[in-house]
Homo-oligomer: A and B are copies of this chain.
Amino acid sequence: MTGNETADGAEKRRFVEVAKRLIAERGDLVSRTAVATGASVSRARIEAVFPAEADLLDAIVEQWFDEPVAIMEEVLASDLPANRKMYEFFARRFVLNRQRYRADPAAFKVYCDLGTAHFDRLESYIDLGDHYLCELIAQAQAEGAFEGLAIGEALSLINQMVAAYTLSDMIVFLDDRLSEEKLGRIVDTLFAGLSARDGGARGVKGLRAA
């Protein structure tokens, strides 16, 4: 059984690679039929691996998130303090995405558009990222950071303040205005300044002319 499973896994990976090549060429999602033609196999053989069109899409998405998920799990399992973990948690995935973007900007933009169009297929991965970030926030709070905030509040605020480094569209838009150094300052800012304390930015009075 193990031998067969491995062979099946290798074939699935090969079909996904063919699909990715075709997507990059055509600038749009491709069908199982196109992948069968591109891989020189029968329609029946591709359907054995991907019973529905959505299974092909899910396999592409799964492969896309393989590395980011491994990064998050490796960072979470490390023995670093929370601020170091949070930096690595965001920075390593940002560097990976930047590499992917710069290796083939046109293909990366196609994947951004596909991600927007099929956002429901990404949600379980986004939820997993939020789950891990909540673990990290809990560790940070145990170490004295983010005082007074519920974990869900801190999660939302942190996600918004680092969005430039986590959303693929933003990496395309901002490109070399983003850097590991700036991300480090942002994480330092979060640990130094994010709490439930009302610093008065919203104030209580309206504007008066000077």
Contact = CB atoms under 8 A, between A and B. Distances in A.
For this chain, the copies found in one complex come to: 2
A190 to B, nearest CB: 7
A84 B184 contact: no
Interface of A is mostly: helix
A106 to B, nearest CB: 15
Interface string A176-210: 01101110111111111111011111110001111
A124 interface: no
22 contacts: A74-B207, A75-B207, A78-B209, A78-B210, A79-B210, A80-B208, A83-B200, A86-B201, A87-B202, A156-B177, A156-B182, A157-B185, A157-B189, A160-B164, A160-B174, A180-B202, A187-B201, A188-B197, A189-B190, A189-B194, A191-B193, A192-B195
